[in-house]
Structure 1
Amino acid sequence: MVCSVCDLPRVVATGYDGLLPWFLRHASRSIYALRMHVGSVHVLGGLPMSDASHRLVSILGANPFFAGFEQDALEKIAAVCRQRRLAAREILFLKGDAGDGLYAIRRGLIRIGTVDDLGQQMTMNVLGGGDVFGEITLLDGQSRTADAVAMEDTDMFFLPRQDFLSLLNREPPMALQLIDLLCARLRDVIGRLEETTFLPSAIRLARRILVLAADYGTDVHASQEELASLTGVTRETVNRHLQSWKRTGIISLGRGRVLIRDIDDLRRLAKVDAA
């Protein structure tokens, strides 16, 4: 997960008493989809959760947010979830909307993001089948810190906040697991700040592409504008690096996509070990 870190150095200077609240406010920011019309969110009422509960339990159990929970706890969570469906380009929620729960993607793609004070698009990530988002608002109930938009027809599960809090009251080990999650997210924020501060743009871009490839395969569907926002550089810088890598046969380029042809060379550019 990526979030805005422009004010993190100032917050870090206040110590962890200041850092944790900042993290809780910003840790769930991911991608932005600009100028899209709000569509209806369809609740699939009348469908018994038992028809999809096995898939939901599998999604939850594979996600760090719930990975330490016992099977019985996961089944209890699945029992209070609802199914929702979005058409391509529908908006699930907007920045500032009430944070009423968590989403788990069954199939499809969701883009999450925001816009800075100058109106510039801040693209952070793309979430697909098996991904979970909205963890922070599930816990603190504050308004959404980003927009969520379906990139294609998408089926999801929705976990209402009040139902989850009731489960936490009955299952204290869940609360301990969430503390571990927040610590991991905080480490991720700090690690990304270090990358932005110290690493050259080519290394950062190569690493972002590899992260996307690890989740969605070597055919990475992301525009140069999105890669620029992910990496914290300009679109021109992204284009320069991509064209250079294309000439050397590491990648090929299409409209809104990057196809990795030599992942070992890309790993060398990113200065990371092979998985």
Structure 2
Amino acid sequence: MAHFARFSIEHVETRGGPHRRDPGGLADQEPEGVVRLFGLGVNAMSKQSEFAVILKMNPLFSDLHADDLQRVAGLCHTLQLDVGEVLFQKGDDGDALYGVRRGQIRIETGASDGGRLTLNFQGPGDLFGEIAVLDGQPRTADAVAGEPTELFVLRRGDLLAFLEREPRIAIRLIELLCQRIRWISERMEESVLQPLPVRMARRLCALADDYGSEVHISQEQLGVYVGAARESVNRQLQQWRKDGILDLQRGRILLKNMSRLTDVARNA
């Protein structure tokens, strides 16, 4: 039975969504260049500075100067999670913003058949939980470590105090939320009107934009993203493999012909 992910503003996909997480091109720089952005020596990059880089890659904080980013990052602490450990559950207070330093967090909820439905995956460099931490409302899903994970944690009180001092960031947040609402509307329309091959091709192209031609995603995860059963996803992937568009490995999809995949995504 296919499960369709419920669209929610907090857990809307960041990878390949309405914006890139790296508006300043940080991901394309050598590590030394990223470190120099914050005035540090190559060997002196602290966890605080690592979190400042993650913040800089997020549209909410991308307009901040390096000194401001360091101040925000200085409010954070780190948290270690073992595989399978629950970070928060649906209904918990939205008391913190999280950034992934290493590992993976699954955002999931209960399915109608009693199983678990994965809404999203958060990996290194991703921020999540920004909506609940701003309005203080309960979490709308569970967050579970998919592997040993280290997080940066920014508490709600510290973030709100910072926003009061930085109204331009509050304005940037409004703009970001508007972008997300528009993106959600487009994805809902797409899920109803576009055939499965187009939805799959658009998702893979979006992931390739962020992570290159080797996409680390299982067929089950891809099915969650496009609202289709794993069997249907597998049939389409096998056809594309025969056509030379991609190759399949365990937990990975190797994109070999982006031009043809882009044509499918455009419904050309």
| TM-score, with length taken from structure 1 | 0.77
Counterpart in the other structure of 2:70: 75
1:241 maps onto 2:236 in alignment: yes
Instruction: Say yes or no: does 1:218 pair with 2:201.
Output: no
- C-alpha distance in 2, partners of 1:119/1:185? 30
Within a 5 Å distance, the mapping from 1:24-39 to structure 2 comes to: 26-29=8-11
SS in 2 for 1:28: coil
Q: Secondary structure at the match of 1:249?
A: coil
Deviations 1:22-77 (A, max 9, x none): xxxx312369xxxxxxxxxxxxxxxxxx8322211111011112112233332221
Give secondary structure in 2 for the equivalent of 1:207: helix
* Structure 1 Cα separation of the partners of residues 68 and 58 of structure 2: 14
SS of residue in 2 equivalent to 1:143: coil
Q: Which amino acid aligns with 1:215?
A: D
Tell me which residue corresponds to 2:89. 94
Tell me the amino acid that sits aligned with residue 212 of structure 2.
G
| Partner in structure 1 of residue 130 of structure 2 | 135
Alpha-carbon shift at residue 238 of structure 1 (Å): 0.8
In structure 1, C-alpha distance between the alignment counterparts of 2:115 and 2:198, rounded to whole Å: 24
Gap change, CA 1:214 and 1:123, over 3 Å in 2: farther
One-letter code aligned to 1:176: I
1:112 corresponds to which of 103, 107, 126: 107
- Whether contact under 8 Å (2:5, 2:225) holds in the other structure is no
| TM-score, structure 2 as length reference | 0.79
Deviation of 1:218 (Å): 2.5
Root-mean-square deviation (CA, aligned residues, Å) is 2.3
Any idea what SS the aligned residue of 1:204 has?
Answer: helix
Runs (5+) with no aligned partner, structure 1: 6-25, 32-49
Is 1:175 aligned to 2:181, yes or no? no
For the residues of structure 2 that align with 1:216 and 1:109, how far apart are their CA atoms? 15
For 1:30 and 1:189, the matched residues in 2 are separated by 7
Cα offset, 1:192, TM superposition: 0.6
Partner of residue 192, structure 2: 197
* Structure 2 counterparts to residues 119-158 of structure 1, below 5 A: 119-158=114-153
Cα deviation 1:4-26 (Å, max 9, x = unaligned): 24xxxxxxxxxxxxxxxxxxxx3
Closer/same/farther in 2, CA of residues 217 and 266 from structure 1, 3 Å limit? same
The whole-number CA distance in structure 2 between the counterparts of 1:259 and 1:63 is 27
Aligned letter for 1:28?
E
Unaligned runs of 5+ in 2: 14-44
Give yes or no for contact 1:168–1:175 (8 Å, CA) kept in 2.
yes
Q: Which residue of 1 aligns with 2:55?
A: 60
Whole-Å Cα distance in 2 between the matches of residues 150 and 82 of structure 1? 18
Gap change, CA 1:99 and 1:3, over 3 Å in 2: farther
Q: What is the DSSP-based 3-state SS (H/G/I as helix, E as strand, rest coil) of the residue aligned with 2:161?
A: helix
Instruction: Write the distance in 2 (CA, Å) between the matches of 1:258 and 1:206.
Output: 12
Taking structure 1 as reference, are residues 87 and 210 closer, same or farther at Cα in structure 2, changes over 3 Å only?
Answer: farther
Classify 1:215/1:124 alpha carbon distance in 2 versus 1 (closer, same or farther; 3 Å): farther
Give the Cα–Cα distance (whole angstroms) in 2 for the partners of residues 133 and 246 of structure 1: 34
Structure 1 distance, partners of 2:255, 2:84, is: 27
- For 2:11, the aligned partner's letter is R
Q: Secondary structure at the match of 1:126?
A: strand
Confirm or deny: 8 A CA contact 2:198 2:267 kept in the other structure. no
- Aligned-partner SS, 2:232: helix
Letter in 1 for 2:237: L
The reply to whether residue 4 of structure 1 matches residue 12 of structure 2 is no
